[in-house]
């Protein structure tokens, strides 16, 4: 069974449970809950038909099992002027992933850290200082590309790195310069460096640069 098929089953189960609970309410309560009823109806239709989500997204959503519609509806409540078109549902799925998927969260934190580093380099340093920082710049560029790309780090490692939020590259660099054997010359080297740090169980020391 594909994750897309599994997700369709979870969505239908969640909808059936929601519908059963709604029909136990008074007519007035059901009337007042029209927004949620419509949301669940459209999401159930979306996930049980030929939507465009790829298998990796479906796999992530399947972790919610029979609560998938409940979880996504909370995201809808945070959006203004949203309807329940397939485009809006796709947008809500993306938001949900960014907030709850370790890989997505990590990529967002890394991008923020990399942007801040780039701005600091280009606005606060001379050409000579930037030239002298080539070693550090290469590290940030290589590791940022890796962590925002299709790497093979497990969710447990990504979650661990997310603890440092938007300082993740800074703190990895502090560990890197203390290492005698690490390299960022290839994605395999970066993978080994990060997993070694994770397996060591050591928390990064914050160094204000």
User: What digits encode the pLDDT tens for the residues 112-142?
Assistant: 999 999 999 999 999 999 999 999 999 999 9
pTM over 0.75: no
The long-range contacts involving 37-40, CB below 8 angstroms and separated by at least 24 positions, are 38/84, 39/69, 39/73, 39/76, 39/84, 40/14, 40/15, 40/69, 40/73
CB proximity list for 149: less than 8 A, separation 6 or greater? 187
User: What digits encode the pLDDT tens for the residues 42-73?
Assistant: 999 999 998 888 888 898 899 888 899 998 99
Q: What is the mean pLDDT of the segment spanning 36-40?
A: 94
**In contact, 3 and 58? CB cutoff 8 Å:** yes
Q: What percent of the chain is modeled with pLDDT above 90? A: 54
Q: What is the pLDDT of residue 201?
A: 65
């Amino acid at each position: 069974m594909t994750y897309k098929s599994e997700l369709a089953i979870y969505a239908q189960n969640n909808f059936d449970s929601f519908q059963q609970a709604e029909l136990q309410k008074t007519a007035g309560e059901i009337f007042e809950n029209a927004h949620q009823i419509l949301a669940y109806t459209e999401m159930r239709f979306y996930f049980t038909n030929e939507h465009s989500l790829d298998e990796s997204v479906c796999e992530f959503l399947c972790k919610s099992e029979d609560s998938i519609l409940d979880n996504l509806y909370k995201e809808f409540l945070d959006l203004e002027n949203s309807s329940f078109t397939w485009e809006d549902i796709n947008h809500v799925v993306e938001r949900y992933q960014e907030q709850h998927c370790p890989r997505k969260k990590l990529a967002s934190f890394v991008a923020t850290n990399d942007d801040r580093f780039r701005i600091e380099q280009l606005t606060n340093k001379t050409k000579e200082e930037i030239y002298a920082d080539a070693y550090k710049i290469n590290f940030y560029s290589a590791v940022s590309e890796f962590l925002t790309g299709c790497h093979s780090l497990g969710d447990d490692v990504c979650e661990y790195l997310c603890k440092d939020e938007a300082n993740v590259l800074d703190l990895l660099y502090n560990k890197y310069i203390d290492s005698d054997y690490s390299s960022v010359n290839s994605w395999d080297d970066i993978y080994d460096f990060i997993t070694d740090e994770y397996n060591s169980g050591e928390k990064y020391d914050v160094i204000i640069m």
